[in-house]
Amino acid sequence: MTNNMFFIANWKMFGDIRSVNSTKKVIKFSKNKKYKRAQIIYCPPYTLLEKFSKITKKSKIKIGAQNCHYSQRPGPFTGSISANLIKSIGANYVIIGHSENRSFESDLIINKKIISALKENLKVIFCIGETYKEKKNNITFRVLKRQISTALKNIKKINNIIFAYEPRWAIGTGKLPNLAELNKNINYINNLISETKKKQTYKIIYGGSVNSENVSELLKIKDLKGFLIGSASLKSKNFIDIIKKSIN
Ligand code: PEP
């Protein structure tokens, strides 16, 4: 199991009811024994979760939501979706703290969301990463430390958390950190988590402009267990190419 690689498709606010069918190619591909180490997770918009859940039912592909509300109880939160509702639709994962939402939510709210999701037995894809300004000001470590330590407050078990390192400036921009920088930051995250949550298993993945052209380079990073992929996951062919290049 520890040998598995995660390929998480974040569809953001793209896709509609017809595009669900385009994933049939990926479903077929996921049954190829050669790529059995690939754990594929689709995170479509909320309105497509049920359809995705049905269409992938007979495969090993899992489904995740892109966010959730922090409340563990139903309540007057217009427009929000709880972890409980996400679970009830057949999803197993939820993305929390994505950089495109971080300007609307604090580290403490993110912490509450993670607690709520874990209580519902959802696995959490927890996003962390610095802005370009923070990188330029040389405070990346400080930012990562704050994001991780606040988000993990009062959380004892982290085996159901996937840590997605996504430099905010690399998302949707076509820019990538260089390998030395990426190695340094992933190492830092790894040390930080293992110091505080001793002996527990957890996974670190990378996200930010991953595509089939650059994935081979990213695979040189030790300890990476997969990728969170935005735009390159929208077309089945591109998504499959990334997986093929990652697993041989
Ligand atoms: C993302 O949405 O998490 C992401 C990494 O997007 P992109 O691959 O498009 O940069």
CB of 102 closer than 6 angstroms to any ligand 1 atom: no
The gap between the terminal CA atoms of the chain, to the nearest Å, is 16
Q: Which of left, alpha, beta for 90 (phi over 0: left; psi -120 to 50: alpha)?
A: left
User: How far is CA 6 from each of CA 35, 134, 152, 224, 235, rounded to the nearest angstrom?
Assistant: 11, 28, 22, 9, 18
Give the distance from CA 164 to its chain's centroid: 5
- Token pair listed for 170: 């690399």
Give the distance from CA 241 to its chain's centroid: 19
pLDDT score, position 33: 95
Distance of alpha carbon 41 from alpha carbon 132, whole angstroms: 28
What are the helix (H) ranges across the chain? 24-30, 49-55, 83-88, 99-102, 107-119, 132-136, 140-151, 179-196, 215-218, 236-246
CB atoms within 10 A of CB 88: 11
Whether the Cβ atoms of residue 185 and residue 166 lie closer than 8 Å to each other: no
User: How far is CA 19 from each of CA 10, 12, 71, 168, 172, rounded to the nearest angstrom?
Assistant: 14, 13, 31, 27, 21
Pick the closest to residue 10 from 54, 60, 48 (CA basis).
Answer: 48
pTM: 0.97
Cα of 198 vs centre of ligand 1, distance in Å, is 30
pLDDT score, position 220: 95
Closest Cα to atom 7 of ligand 1: 230
For residue 164, which atom of ligand 1 is closest to its CA? Answer: 3
Q: Tens digit of pLDDT per residue, the chain (248 long)?
A: 458 999 999 999 999 998 898 899 999 999 999 999 999 999 999 999 999 999 999 999 999 999 999 999 999 999 999 999 999 999 999 999 999 999 899 999 999 999 999 999 999 999 999 999 999 999 999 999 999 999 999 999 999 999 999 999 999 999 999 999 999 999 999 999 998 877 788 999 999 999 999 999 999 998 899 999 999 999 999 999 999 999 97
Candidate list 69, 98, 130, 134, residue with the active-site label: 98
pLDDT score, position 2: 54
**Partners of 5 in the β-ladder:** 38
Cα-Cα-Cα-Cα torsion 216, 218, 224, 229, nearest 10 degrees, comes to: -90
Best residue among 8, 14, 213, 228 to mutate for probing ligand 1, ranked by most atoms within 8 Å of CB: 228
CA atoms within 13 A on the CB side of 233: 26
Q: Which of left, alpha, beta for 35 (phi over 0: left; psi -120 to 50: alpha)?
A: alpha
Known catalytic membership, residue 166? yes
Known catalytic membership, residue 50? no
CB atoms within 10 A of CB 13: 8
